[in-house]
């Protein structure tokens, strides 16, 4: 029997309305029973909540990505995000976090302490909102794991928990997040030849009960994919790659990852 799959992290707002019909149909055909579309700012969060309201297999997260923090010197747009978070289909605050790796897309050096401080303020604003609303958080953390876990602990986020997109890090970082009750969603980065070695050790270090799978669609297609964009249906290939790294059967891995969603993202109820 084919596994029932949950896409723990995608960006359905980045697809046009016409594209979305095909993307969801392909996902359903691949066995994806639930998708969590994640916002990066107020506009994408608003579109994500609209998609979730219109399409039953979709839930949403709302948040401001650290790449956008520099545009908010007075802190995160909490009032707007909190209004969106009141929708029935919103199950998390995200994608939020810290990114200290220089951003070539935006031409920004995050070595600048002022930019790091602004990111941290925006991050804390949203963590406090999540605690107030009782929602788990979906994290983006690059080159910032020590600071991210310190801030999570200081803000008492073990109370609501959540999931970190884990595209880089160490087994020690896994241990630090897991101690705070956080899970990990793994995606297409594991499929690339350069990921072997240290990154695969990190993927193997994730406790089995805290592992989720994600497409991050439409970004980061898996290695060897004919398309320049990814889609939730790609989780079949991504799951197979993760299973090879962890030495388990793909069906077992994907089935366990689906069972983990309700534990890691505590407001989610996976459909029967």
Annotated binding site for a divalent metal cation: 9, 11, 95, 140, 216
Beta carbons within 10 angstroms of residue 220's beta carbon: 20
**Cis peptide bond N-terminal to 258, omega within 30:** no
Q: How many other C-beta atoms can be found within 10 angstroms of the C-beta atom of residue 237?
A: 20
Numbered residues of the known binding site: 9, 11, 95, 140, 216
- CA angle, 7 then 217 then 85, to 5°: 65
Query: What is the rounded CA–CA span in Å between residue 158 and residue 153?
Result: 7
The Cα 136–Cα 93 span in angstroms is 6
Containing H/E element for 10? strand 5-10
Q: Is 71 exposed, middle or buried (0-12, 13-18, 19+ CB in 10 A)?
A: exposed
Strands 182-186 and 58-62: unpaired
């Amino acid at each position: 029997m084919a596994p029932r799959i949950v896409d723990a992290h995608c960006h359905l707002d980045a697809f046009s309305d016409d594209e979305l019909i095909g993307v969801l149909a392909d996902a359903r055909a691949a066995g994806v029973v639930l998708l969590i579309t994640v916002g990066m700012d107020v506009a994408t969060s608003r579109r994500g909540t609209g998609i979730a309201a219109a399409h039953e297999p979709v839930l949403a997260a709302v948040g401001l990505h650290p790449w956008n923090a520099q545009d908010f010197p007075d802190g995160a747009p909490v009032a707007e995000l909190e209004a969106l978070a009141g929708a029935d289909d919103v199950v998390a605050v995200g994608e939020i976090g810290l990114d200290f790796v220089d951003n070539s897309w935006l031409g920004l050096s995050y070595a600048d302490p002022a930019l790091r401080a602004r990111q941290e303020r925006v991050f804390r604003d949203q963590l406090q909102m999540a605690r107030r609303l009782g929602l788990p958080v979906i994290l983006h953390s690059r080159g910032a794991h020590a600071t991210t876990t310190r801030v999570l602990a200081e803000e008492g986020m073990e109370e609501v928990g959540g999931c970190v997109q884990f595209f880089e890090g160490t087994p020690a970082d896994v241990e630090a997040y897991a101690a705070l009750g956080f899970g990990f969603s793994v995606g297409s980065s594991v499929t690339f030849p350069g990921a072997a070695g240290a990154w695969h050790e990190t993927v193997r270090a994730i406790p089995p009960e805290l592992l989720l799978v994600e497409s991050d669609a439409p970004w980061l297609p898996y290695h060897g994919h004919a398309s320049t964009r990814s889609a939730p249906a790609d989780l079949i290939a991504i799951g197979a790659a993760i299973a090879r790294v962890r030495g388990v059967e793909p069906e077992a891995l994907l089935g366990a990852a689906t069972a983990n969603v309700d534990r890691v993202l505590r407001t989610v109820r996976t459909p029967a």
